[in-house]
């Protein structure tokens, strides 16, 4: 059973901060399914970890796409589909590829202080594999650098990423229990034609939902199994009852609140990427239009060139002016198009703007 901690988390940290040599193991659950909050919580735990602490953090996210630190969201995702369906975009600090997550995923984080511990990735994987084997009779194994796979054809059910600083080492990833695979196809891997980028591409592997190996598996039971395996591995330590962190804690901890604002901010999610060029062309009944957009690291449209054989030159020029300097997101594109629509007079021009808006949004 997962028990809520009996007294405030800060008091718990202070109580054990005087213990210098003996490792203090903590098991922490998030009651939130918001990806930005959970990433912020993970960062806050990393920044406040004590020299003798070893943390297991278990969490789960509602529909979202998470990209790696150096990835280009326009290259990795169908951003307009995500926006329409309420799928959040998040950027983590660690590397790796883009992943889709929903409530069919279980996320884990192993976090240790660099002062007295070393992050043992193989031991962490053993904890996860032992949990699956002992509680669900699922026999997985390590494959490659950071994947856990199942069956003779090595179908992937878990991927990991790592982060190392002078203060802490972090190993986090996800276990796929019952993810919507159709959603993965819907939101990931856009058409990369004419999209030139220096970012990191995602490598899509064959995946398997763990419920295909055991239909009884679910997030709650899997977390309890991982907790049990973790306690068995570190049986020589007195590990307190699991702590539960809720979103209400956000307002009471300034550092956590600051991290949440960062991860939810569009500048971080869209702007922390490499420069890229997006070029596309389409022929409409009223003419052909070609658009070339260059965006720098801030995710803004720094250069916009529009070529068309349309007779409405002023409309094309106004659209170009309204797009320049805007964030390259569906919301900003829509506003720029609607601003242009309000500036033209003829119904033909308004229809053309509607066509262009729908077309551009489909590209990103």
- What is residue 296's predicted lDDT score, i.e. its pLDDT? 72
Q: How far apart (Å, rounded) are the C-alpha atoms in residues 114 and 52?
A: 9
How far, in whole angstroms, is CA 55 from its chain's centroid? Answer: 21
Position 17 scores a pLDDT of 42
Alpha carbons 305 and 290: distance in angstroms, whole number: 8
Give the rounded distance of the alpha carbon of 67 from its chain centre: 5
Q: What ranges do the domains of the chain cover?
A: 9-266, 276-363
DSSP structure class, residue 325: T
DSSP secondary structure of 109-120: EEEEETTT----
Question: Residue 116's CB: how many other CB atoms inside 10 A?
Answer: 15
The fourth-level CATH superfamily of domain 276-363 is: CO dehydrogenase flavoprotein, C-terminal domain (3.30.390.50)
| pLDDT in the model for residue 65 | 96
Question: What residues of the chain score a pLDDT lower than 70?
Answer: 1-21, 70, 95-96, 116, 190-205, 236-237, 271-274, 297-298, 309
80-103 as b/e, with b when 16 or more CB fall inside 10 Å? bbbbeeebbbbbbbbebbbbbbbb
- Residue 301: predicted pLDDT: 87
User: Closest Cα to residue 322, out of 334, 337, 307, 310?
Assistant: 337
Give me the torsion for CA of 113, 116, 119, 120, rounded to 10°: -150
What is the rounded CA–CA span in Å between residue 356 and residue 350? 10
Residue 176 exposure: Cα atoms within 13 Å on the Cβ side: 25
d(CA 337, CA 359): 11
Measured CA to CA in angstroms, residue 176 lies from 215, 267, 275, 287 at distances of: 13, 29, 32, 47
Decide: helix, strand or coil at residue 70: coil
Give the chain's largest Cα–Cα span.
79
Q: How far apart are CA 48 and CA 14, in angstroms?
A: 11
At the second CATH level, the architecture of 9-266 is 2-Layer Sandwich (3.30)
Q: What angle do CA 167, 168, 172 make, to 5 degrees?
A: 160
Report the pLDDT value the prediction gives residue 237, as an integer from 0 to 100: 62
CB-based contact 146:129 (threshold 8 Å): no
Whole-angstrom distance, CA of residue 329 vs CA of residue 363: 11
pLDDT of residue 21: 56
How far apart (Å, rounded) are the C-alpha atoms in residues 264 and 279?
A: 28
333 φ, ψ (degrees, to nearest 5): -60, -45
């Amino acid at each position: 059973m997962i028990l809520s901690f009996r007294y405030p988390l800060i008091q718990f940290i202070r109580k054990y901060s005087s213990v210098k040599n003996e490792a203090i193991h903590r098991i922490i659950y998030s009651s939130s399914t918001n990806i930005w909050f959970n990433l912020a919580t993970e960062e806050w735990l990393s920044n406040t970890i004590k020299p003798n602490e070893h943390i297991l953090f278990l969490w789960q996210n509602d529909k979202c796409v998470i990209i790696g630190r150096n990835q280009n969201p326009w290259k990795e995702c169908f951003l307009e589909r995500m926006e329409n369906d309420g799928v959040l975009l998040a950027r983590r600090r660690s590397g790796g590829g883009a992943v889709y997550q929903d409530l069919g995923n279980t996320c884990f984080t192993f976090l240790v202080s660099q002062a007295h511990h070393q992050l043992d990735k193989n031991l962490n994987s053993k904890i996860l594999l032992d949990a699956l084997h002992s509680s669900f009779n699922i026999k997985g194994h390590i494959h490659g650098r950071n994947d856990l796979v199942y069956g003779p054809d090595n179908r992937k059910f878990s991927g990991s990423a790592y982060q190392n600083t002078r203060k802490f080492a972090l190993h986090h990833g996800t276990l796929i229990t019952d993810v919507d695979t159709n959603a993965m196809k819907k939101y990931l891997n856009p058409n990369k034609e004419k999209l030139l980028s220096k970012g990191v591409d995602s490598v899509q592997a064959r995946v398997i939902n763990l419920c295909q190996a055991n239909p009884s598996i679910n997030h709650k039971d899997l977390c309890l199994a991982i907790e049990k395996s973790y306690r068995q591995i570190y049986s020589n330590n007195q590990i307190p009852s699991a702590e539960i962190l809720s979103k209400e804690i956000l307002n009471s901890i300034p550092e956590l609140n600051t991290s949440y604002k960062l991860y939810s901010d569009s500048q971080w999610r869209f702007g922390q990427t490499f420069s890229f060029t997006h070029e596309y062309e389409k022929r409409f009944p009223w003419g052909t239009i070609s658009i070339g957009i260059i965006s720098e690291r801030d995710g803004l449209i720094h250069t916009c060139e529009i070529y068309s054989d349309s007779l409405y030159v002023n409309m094309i020029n106004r659209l170009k002016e309204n797009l320049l300097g805007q964030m390259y997101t569906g919301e900003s594109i829509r506003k720029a198009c609607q601003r242009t629509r309000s500036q033209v007079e003829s119904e033909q021009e308004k229809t053309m703007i509607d066509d262009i808006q729908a077309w551009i949004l489909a590209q990103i």
